[in-house]
Structure 1
Amino acid sequence: MNLVELIIISVFDIVEYVIISNKLINYNKIDKFLATIYILGASIITGISGRYISMRCNFLIGGFLICCIICLLYDIKIIETIYVYVLSTIIIISIQLFSIVLLKVFLGNINYEFVYAMISEIISLIMVIFIVNHIPINLMFKFVMENNKVFKTIILNILVLLVAILLYWHMDISGFLKNIIIMAVFSAGIIYVNLVFIKEGLKNEQDEKQLRKYEDYLPIIDELIDEIRRRQHEFDNHVQALRMLTITSTDYESIVNSMNNYMDDLKMDNNLIDLIKLDNKVLAGFLYSKIKSAEKLGINFNIIIEDYGFKTKLKDYELIEIVGNLINNGFETKVADNIIILKLKKEKNMDVMELKNKHPYLDIKSINKMFKLGSSTKSNSGRGYGLYNIKDLVKKYNGKIEIFNDKMNEENYIVFRVLFVRNGLF
């Protein structure tokens, strides 16, 4: 192929990488002008190197340029860029091999010519668009960033297989095209086996996560029960003291003040009793641990349980992940005299988790980008994986997230509402 044809083919390849990588990290607001400049520049360089440099060297050059584009477009770390590139490469090579197989089946003998390459690229681009619109491949990136060892190992196996096929392509194109169907069947078999291992590995990991949550928080339930017993003893003393107030005090104001102080203590007792009444004991243990953390941080953390049978379709570790990320997000806002209110309730046929915390007013633009990777309400914002993970979990179970500002006692609060329909969809 001549230089212009190589550049055109490179444009298709890099566009596919941009589309796939964008879906992997769920980055919705890409700068289209910059993306166009990067794609054209990288395509020209790749086309020139493909014309005058060996194909193996050109593959390395192309990979480096694509990594640069990913890093610049999404402003992510180098290690994240490498992960995105590896996952994108696996998906794109698989798609392109499939498109070549289709050409072989329907057209018979094919050669490494521009016409065949263009047909293959068009088929590949259509499949890429279909995949990003209908398959949640962003979960792959999530598993990698969560350091899922089973997933990483199997992805590495698939990558080695596909790179070996790609090297064969570069060394002997004619032999590759002659044996493409045999290689495709063999590769599909290996990939299928690996996918089965991924499925089983993820299932086992979910079971382990569930078990770990029970191991982590059920002992805290014992601590909660001991705390209630201790408070019960204090409660008996309070009752006795209240009985004596009318005998020992003749001043009405002192009686009222003493009773108010005791009422505050009794209110705390009621909060702890509410946790014990909660059917989900893992959640109860987790919330008790957060109450203790809030006390150490000097945060006013209130839990209001309106539905003791609160239960969603989520597994316990997933429910803890959502509630925990919302609470942690509230804890880490660095707002003075922070107040956080968590409600667990039922609204018609919906289970609702609502968390509100003191926070400066957020405009619509800030709210809309809040659950994108890298965004956070924290003043010392990190990568924002907590809220990002919440969005994926809520989407997995056909839930809904609402975020808005609310005024309470003349102060602004940011409110997160996570809703799950008990039966059916929104």
Structure 2
Amino acid sequence: MKGLQKYIVLFTILFQATIILMFNTSILGTTSLEDLKQNIPFFNVIIVMITVFIVISFKKLGDYETKQAELKLVKTNMKAIEELITLLRTERHDYISHIQAIQAMLYLEEYKELDEYIKGIAAEYRVTSQIIRVGHPALTALLNSKREIVQEKGIYFHIDCRHKIDIIEWTSWELCSLFSNLIENAIEAVTSIIGEKWIRLTMDDQDDSYMIEIENPGQIEQEVIDTLHEPGVSTKDSVGRGYGLHICKKIVDKYSGTIEFKNTKKNTVVFTVRLPRGENNYDTKAIS
């Protein structure tokens, strides 16, 4: 689909150039001013139609790029959720077996073996015990998965959930898409910095609104901040980036929220999202 759109745009541009060439040829070859006047409206209409078609084609091509970025993000989020759900289901299935084994060792008074057995269980399930729960199953899975990925990159990721997220009118993919893009943007920003690498995510409830704040070291130039919402614009000059924050803006606008970026005096960047609580804040005009 993407390749076909590009070929259509290229063909249309070449066709427009051919029409203009034909028009110029007719001007040079005409011997009658009246004949030239009669042909001008025809050529003008053709050129206008082709120009409109090119504009529409470019818009559809841009929409396709955005949809592809959204689809890729959804697939990534779903994989993270599936992995965590599989882990939780597997461990829950094992709980009964472990309880039965512990009960048997207590009955037989095998306390030394019981102590070793419990230590083994504690070591095996240390990841599950560290799971941060934020009130939404899909988001819980995503954030814990992201935390593992970030820490593997040598980045400290602190999650401060002061208020549970229970936005029931949001779809799971929209909520995960918002958080995932904000986190990915922060990861991209801190990866190349020299010094301590960290990301701080805060979730709170302020003035009947959800507040989501993500902070990381670094600074963004003001001219970049002014255009961050536009598709293809990123905090870093890297190929294939720049659609994440545009997707965030679309989702936030859809639910009548706000998203702001600012540099702080602590040499950090703070991205703040505010989302009104309640089920009557849906804005259909924001979907485009």
TM-score range, shorter chain: 0.5 to 0.7
Distance in 2, matches of 1:386 and 1:423, equals: 28
Structure 1 segment 239-258 matched on structure 2, within 5 A: none
Higher normalized contact order (CA 8 Å, seq sep 6+, divided by chain length): 2
Report what 1:309 is aligned to.
Answer: 166
Distance in 1, matches of 2:172 and 2:275, equals: 9
Distance 1:345 1:181, change over 3 A: farther
From 18, 39, 43, the equivalent of 1:183 is 43
Q: Which consecutive residues of structure 1, in runs of 5 or more, have no partner in the other structure?
A: 1-146, 241-261
SS at match of 2:195: coil
Q: State the Cα deviation string for residues 4-49 of structure 1 (Å, max 9, x = none).
A: xxxxxxxxxxxxxxxxxxxxxxxxxxxxxxxxxxxxxxxxxxxxxx
SS at match of 1:400: strand
1:172 aligns with 2:172: no
SS at match of 2:158: strand
Q: State the Cα deviation string for residues 42-61 of structure 1 (Å, max 9, x = none).
A: xxxxxxxxxxxxxxxxxxxx
Report what 1:278 is aligned to.
Answer: 136
Report what 1:329 is aligned to.
Answer: 188
> Could you tell me how far 1:375 is from its partner in structure 2?
8.8
The amino acid that maps onto 1:162 is: Q
From 262, 265, 270, the equivalent of 1:415 is 270
CA contact (8 A) 2:23 2:43 kept: no
Report what 1:319 is aligned to.
Answer: 178
Report what 1:24 is aligned to.
Answer: none
Report what 1:223 is aligned to.
Answer: 83
Report what 2:112 is aligned to.
Answer: none
Distance 1:318 1:291, change over 3 A: closer
RMSD: 4.8
CA contact (8 A) 2:9 2:57 kept: no
SS at match of 1:172: helix
Distance in 1, matches of 2:251 and 2:77, equals: 25
Structure 1 segment 11-22 matched on structure 2, within 5 A: none
> Could you tell me how far 1:181 is from its partner in structure 2?
2.1
Distance 1:315 1:191, change over 3 A: farther
The amino acid that maps onto 2:154 is: G
Report what 1:109 is aligned to.
Answer: none
CA contact (8 A) 2:190 2:217 kept: no
CA contact (8 A) 1:406 1:413 kept: yes
CA contact (8 A) 1:352 1:417 kept: yes
The amino acid that maps onto 1:278 is: H
Distance in 2, matches of 1:177 and 1:289, equals: 69
From 404, 410, 422, the equivalent of 2:263 is 404
Distance 1:186 1:214, change over 3 A: same
> Could you tell me how far 1:221 is from its partner in structure 2?
1.6
SS at match of 1:336: coil
Q: How many residues align?
A: 238
CA contact (8 A) 1:314 1:397 kept: no
> Could you tell me how far 1:356 is from its partner in structure 2?
1.0
> Could you tell me how far 1:387 is from its partner in structure 2?
5.7
> Could you tell me how far 1:324 is from its partner in structure 2?
4.4
CA contact (8 A) 1:224 1:272 kept: no
Distance in 1, matches of 2:40 and 2:140, equals: 57
Percent identity, please: 18
> Could you tell me how far 1:385 is from its partner in structure 2?
7.3
The amino acid that maps onto 1:154 is: I
> Could you tell me how far 1:357 is from its partner in structure 2?
1.9
SS at match of 1:179: helix
> Could you tell me how far 1:415 is from its partner in structure 2?
1.7
> Could you tell me how far 1:224 is from its partner in structure 2?
0.9
Distance 1:219 1:355, change over 3 A: same
Distance 1:388 1:219, change over 3 A: closer
- Larger deviation, residues 394-403 vs 153-162: 394-403
Distance 1:391 1:199, change over 3 A: closer
Q: Which consecutive residues of structure 2, in runs of 5 or more, have no partner in the other structure?
A: 28-32, 103-121
Distance 1:400 1:291, change over 3 A: closer
Distance in 2, matches of 1:210 and 1:387, equals: 12
Higher helix share: 1
